[in-house]
Amino acid sequence: MGTGFIFKILDYRTQDEAKRFCEMAMEIIEDANQRFSTYLESSELSKINRGELSIEKASSVQRDVWSKAESWKELTGGFFDARTPSGKFDPSGIVKTWAAQNAANFLEANGFKEFTLNAGGDILLSSKLKDSPLTRVGLANLSPIASEDSFVNMVLELNQTDLRAVATSGSSERGEHIWRRSDAFVQANVVASDLVTADVWATALIAGGFEAFDLLPREVIAMAVTKDGQMRSTSGFYPLLAKI
């Protein structure tokens, strides 16, 4: 997927056990990569986009993700769209966090309750993680990652909340990789109960600007930075700022 995944686990019994289950969780992520990569010629998605395989004959996992992508397109007013301008299907905007959420669910199902998962900068907290420094999530500056100024800009405290996921979208680290209808925002941070919701809305905000911001559901918290350096946020954002 062109990104890294980092697990931090507090409640492991032995390091060998934690490593073994993290490796199994990574197999879930790698399976998604093999199915949905737009770079691997052998992936199921590449075969579909080349016309060698119909979506009707694709795996149930493939069809499920296509269905989810279409649902998110409708929910975001079309600002999240897995179709490229050329008409090919590219679900990259949902697959990374969908796979990461599945990997986290696997760990929780196997008894790990206090951990975080960093999926290429998008952060997921396990459901039982409380009273820990790991519940503080930093939001990066707008500077590119190679810059010496690219450190944490703000810190959110998610210790006493059911909001467990933080996603960031923009162009500072990966360049322009989102098909935009608006250039109003240069970065968007979204906090939600699950990682897919946070990631999809972060992408939609970059793609749609103020129009997409007005579509945010009440349970989603967001902050976006405009190209002239101003900030726009939902009412629930500032109460989450940590006192540091």
**What's the pTM?**
0.89
Give the mean pLDDT of the chain: 89
Question: Which CATH homologous superfamily contains domain 5-240?
Answer: ApbE-like domains (3.10.520.10)
Q: What does the pLDDT look like over 109-168, one tens digit per residue?
A: 999 999 999 998 899 999 888 888 899 999 876 655 444 444 456 899 998 778 999 999
3-state SS of the chain?
CCCCEEEEECCCCCHHHHHHHHHHHHHHHHHHHHHHCCCCCCCHHHHHHCCCCCHHHCCHHHHHHHHHHHHHHHHCCCCCCCECCCCCECCHHHHHHHHHHHHHHHHHHCCCCCEEEEECCEEEECCCCCCCHHHEEEEECCCCCCCCCCCEEEEEECCCCCCCEEEEEECCCCCCCCCCCCCCEEEEEEEECCHHHHHHHHHHHHHHHHHHHCCCCCCCEEEEEECCCCEEECCCCHHHECCC
Q: How much is the pLDDT for 62?
A: 95
The angle that helices 195-213 and 92-109 make with each other, rounded to 10 degrees, is: 140
pLDDT range class, residue 73, cuts 50, 70, 90:
very high
Q: What does the pLDDT look like over 18-55, one tens digit per residue?
A: 999 999 999 999 999 999 998 999 999 999 999 999 99
Phi/psi of residue 168, nearest 5 degrees: -125, 140
pLDDT range class, residue 183, cuts 50, 70, 90:
confident
Yes or no: say if 179 and 85 are a contact pair by the CB < 8 Å rule.
yes
pLDDT range class, residue 175, cuts 50, 70, 90:
very low
* pLDDT of 181 strictly over 50: yes
> Structural domain boundaries of the chain?
5-240
Q: What does the pLDDT look like over 91-109, one tens digit per residue?
A: 888 999 999 999 999 999 9
